[in-house]
């Protein structure tokens, strides 16, 4: 995969020189080009050298709603930040250098991950949390590590690095003579209630117009088609005549339900279907598997699952070129986190804990056997508090609060960071991240979103024939389009099956690995057995039990994919800060939630 464009800008705020940027770049971005203007230092990589008066676009596909936008237009928007920036389709970010200041921005959903630092005597902004962490030198963030050990991704503006924070959604960051200024360019409007019928009409017309305009601009585009609902909505929004000969691709294991459904739909529409195999990892050498995982962790800035990302990165090397149409975003309109029957109830700590334990911590949490019991108990409390804080901050009742949690936290910090990792090197559009579609989803009542009712009604309105094709392991969308008081037998069976699987997963401590994740994890374990010295940096962490790491090195236990993900991420994070077990004591910053267990040197 070609590298995504990146940058770092630092500015002295006291007249004293900022930390040694060149040293950090030599280790982390050795090909970076640098420029200096008084107290301001700027570096770029995988991009043109920094020049005053120019704008660096951070994604390959830059669109303002349903039309392309140029670097010149983006530069004008950054010169006078306002609501127009909120019309840029995520994943979007940019940086401009004008005179004695640098301004960077992320999109309205915060998908493009930018990071900021305010330190004594200097401040900085970058696409790389690792570069800033190397400059700050404060070590790992205890709360950030704790949250990621349960979720597999981050909440709020946290990173795993102390003193390094994510730029908030819908914000610009400016390095000016007085330091770092973070500013919202558009205030989010309060939801305005909308009827189901009107929401369906608006969304139908929006998607049809968007897909038509995009295919006019890119006739060679490839639709990423799955057996699920979201990509089917996008296909349904494409005029039937344009579907004939349209290229589509499916990431999956040949013979799986997902691939079979996508293939059936593609054949019926006369599309050209390509299957990108997520299997076949067994032939990888353990050393290559580790290289892929470490590379993925770097692109994710150690803040999401590098095992799953590495599997996808490897599979994508066989994908045909061309702009990609992706269905990311539909889940914001189906009540993904609705737990319990009382949607109008208040947010309470008990409800927040239940959501965390049953829904949010189920798949990517670290294996309890791998970590120190005291640390594990403390980390769970930190993660529960972080989830509850996010829910309370919305100011909404229970279901609406979980909608805000999904959009503002999971979509931004999980989906967003993975999109940031690829959008700079691949042309990708997600039409359902358009600010108008997100607005429709926010305006809908939870009762209309629950159980995918709105999305099912939208599917019927776009293409009733495809509404009758079953989803992966679920009934056809038409089943979910019934009135809210109606539950068909098929829908009840599907819901009961989901609850049963989730209960078994929770009670049995199961972790559902990503496709190909189990195979890649096994290869990582073999590599650690070949070279146990790689585990030394983790042995004194206070997170992983040294005896468990000894068992991994001896081949007596196998890490789960979620556990391997945290191991790789922390290894990459430690390496970025250039800390070693024989020096630099106490490099993990203390928790803001009390001291927690005693952390020792990685």
Distance of alpha carbon 59 from alpha carbon 67, whole angstroms: 15
What range defines the domain where residue 87 resides? 6-145+156-184
Domain CATH number, residue 421: 3.40.50.620
Give the pLDDT confidence score for residue 589 in this predicted structure: 43
Residue pair 116/173 in contact by the 8 Å Cβ criterion? yes
Q: Does any domain span residue 546?
A: no
Task: Give the pLDDT of residue 586.
Answer: 41
The 3-class secondary structure across 62-113, one letter per residue, is CEECCEECCHHHHHHHHHCCCHHHHHECCCCEEEEEECCEEEEEECCCCCCC
Q: Is residue 343 part of a domain?
A: no
Are 91 and 19 contained in the same domain? yes
**What φ, ψ does residue 343 adopt, rounded to 5°?**
-70, -20
**In 348-423, alpha helices (H):** 349-355, 373-393, 398-405, 416-423
Domain membership of residue 54 (yes or no) is yes
Question: What's the rounded Cα separation, in Å, for the pair 128 and 289?
Answer: 23
Distances (CA, A) of 577 to 117, 133, 183, 396: 15, 6, 29, 40
Q: Are residues 83 and 230 in the same domain?
A: no
Domain check: are 179 and 215 in the same one?
A: no
For 139-149, b where at least 16 C-beta lie within 10 A, e where not — what string?
bbbbbbbbbbb
How many structural domains are present in the chain? 2
Strands (E) across 133-283 are located at: 140-141, 165-166, 171-176, 179-184, 222-224, 247-252, 272-277
Last residue of one domain, picked from the residues 444, 477, 508? 508
> Is residue 320 packed enough to be buried (19+ CB in 10 Å), middle (13-18) or exposed (0-12)?
exposed
Pairing assessment for the beta strands 40-45 and 6-12 based on DSSP bridges: antiparallel
pLDDT of residue 513: 53
Mean pLDDT in consecutive groups of 10 residues from the start of the chain, 602 residues: 86 88 95 94 96 96 96 94 95 95 97 97 97 94 96 97 97 95 90 96 98 97 96 98 97 90 96 89 91 96 96 87 92 88 91 94 92 93 98 96 96 95 93 97 95 96 97 92 58 47 44 73 96 87 89 96 96 81 39 42 29
Residue 351: inside a domain: no
Q: Is residue 37 part of a domain?
A: yes
Task: Clarify whether residues 134 and 215 are in a common domain.
Answer: no
In a domain? residue 537: no
Same domain, yes or no, for 240 and 220?
Answer: yes
Looking at residue 515, what is its pLDDT? 67
In a domain, 338, yes or no: no
Choosing from 483, 508, 533, the residue where a domain stops is: 508
Q: Is 445 in the same domain as 419? A: yes
Could you tell me if 243 and 319 lie in one domain? Answer: yes
41, 9 contact by CB (below 8 A): yes
**If you search the block for the tokens 């639709």, which residue do you land on?**
223
Bridge-partner residues for 115, per DSSP?
A: 126, 166
* Residues 62 and 204 both lie in one domain: no
Residue 601 in any domain: the answer is: no
167 lies in the same domain as 251: no
How much is the pLDDT for 588? 43
If one counts every other C-beta atom within 10 angstroms of the C-beta of residue 540, the result is 14
Same domain, 207 and 99: no
Instruction: Based on the fold, state whether residues 212 and 120 are members of the same structural domain.
Output: no
Q: What is the pLDDT of residue 360?
A: 94
Domain stops at, among 480, 508, 536: 508
Q: What pLDDT is recorded for position 483? A: 58
Identify the CATH number of the domain in which residue 31 sits: 3.60.20.10
Secondary structure of residue 486 in the 3-state scheme: coil
According to DSSP, residue 39 is labeled T
Q: Which contiguous run of DSSP H or E holds residue 10?
A: strand 6-12
Verify that 168 and 261 share a domain, yes or no. no
The alpha-helical segments, DSSP class H, found in 218-340 are 230-236, 240-243, 257-269, 286-299, 306-316
The Cα 588–Cα 44 span in angstroms is 29
CA–CA gap between residue 118 and residue 165 (Å, rounded): 9
Among 233, 197, 201, CA closest to 466: 233
């Amino acid at each position: 995969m070609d590298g995504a464009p990146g940058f770092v800008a630092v500015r002295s705020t006291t007249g004293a020189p900022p930390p040694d940027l060149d040293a950090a770049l030599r280790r982390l971005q050795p090909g970076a080009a640098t420029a200096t203007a008084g107290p301001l230092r700027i570096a770029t990589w995988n991009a043109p050298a920094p020049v005053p008066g120019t704008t660096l676009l951070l994604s390959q596909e830059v669109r303002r709603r349903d039309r392309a936008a140029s670097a010149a237009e983006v530069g004008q928007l950054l010169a006078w930040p306002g609501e127009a920036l909120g019309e840029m389709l995520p994943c979007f970010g940019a940086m401009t250098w004008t005179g004695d200041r640098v301004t960077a921005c992320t999109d309205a959903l915060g998908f493009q991950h930018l990071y900021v630092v305010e330190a004594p005597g200097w401040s900085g902004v970058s696409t790389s949390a690792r570069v800033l962490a190397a400059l700050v030198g404060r070590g790992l963030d205890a709360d950030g590590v704790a949250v990621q050990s349960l979720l597999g991704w981050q909440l709020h503006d946290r990173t795993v690095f102390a003193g390094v924070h994510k730029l908030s959604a819908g914000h610009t960051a400016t390095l000016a003579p007085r330091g770092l200024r973070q500013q919202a360019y558009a205030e989010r409007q309060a939801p305005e209630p909308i009827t189901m019928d009107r929401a369906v009409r608006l969304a139908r017309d929006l998607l049809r117009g968007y897909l038509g305009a995009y295919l006019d601009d890119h006739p060679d585009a490839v639709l990423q088609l799955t057996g699920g609902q979201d990509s089917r909505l996008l296909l349904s929004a494409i005029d039937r005549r344009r579907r004939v000969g349209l290229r589509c691709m499916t990431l999956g294991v040949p013979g799986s339900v997902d691939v079979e459904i996508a293939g059936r739909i593609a054949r019926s529409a006369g599309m050209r279907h390509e299957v990108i195999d997520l299997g076949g990892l067994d032939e990888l050498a353990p050393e290559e598997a580790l290289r892929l995982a470490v590379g993925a962790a770097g692109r994710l800035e150690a803040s999401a699952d590098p095992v799953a990302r590495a599997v996808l990165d490897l599979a994508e090397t066989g994908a045909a070129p061309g702009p990609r149409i992706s269905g990311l975003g539909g889940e914001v309109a189906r009540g993904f986190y609705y737990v319990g029957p009382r949607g109008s109830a208040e947010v309470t700590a008990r409800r927040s804990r239940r959501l965390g334990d049953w829904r949010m911590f189920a798949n990517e949490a670290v294996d309890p056997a791998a970590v120190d019991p005291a640390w594990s108990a403390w980390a769970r409390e930190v993660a529960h508090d972080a989830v509850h804080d996010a829910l309370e901050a919305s100011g909404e009742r229970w279901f609406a609060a979980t909608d805000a949690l999904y959009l503002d936290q999971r979509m931004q910090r999980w989906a967003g960071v993975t999109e940031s990792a690829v959008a700079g090197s691949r042309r990708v559009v997600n039409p359902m991240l358009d600010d108008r579609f997100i607005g429709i989803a926010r305006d809908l009542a939870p009762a209309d979103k629950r159980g995918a009712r709105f999305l099912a009604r939208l599917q019927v309105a776009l293409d009733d024939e495809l509404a009758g094709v079953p989803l992966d392991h679920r009934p056809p969308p038409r089943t979910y389009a019934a009135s809210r008081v109606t539950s068909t037998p098929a829908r009840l069976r599907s819901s009961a099956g989901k609850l049963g699987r989730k209960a078994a997963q929770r009670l049995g401590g199961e972790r559902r690995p990503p496709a190909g994740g189990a195979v890649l994890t096994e290869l990582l374990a073999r590599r650690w057995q070949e070279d146990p010295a790689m585990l030394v940096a983790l042995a004194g962490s206070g997170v992983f039990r040294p005896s468990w790491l000894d068992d991994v090195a001896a081949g007596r236990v196998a890490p789960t994919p979620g556990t391997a993900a945290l191991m790789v991420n922390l290894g990459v994070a430690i390496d970025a800060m250039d800390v070693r077990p024989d020096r630099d004591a106490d490099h993990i910053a203390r928790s803001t939630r009390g001291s927690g267990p005693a952390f020792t040197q990685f």
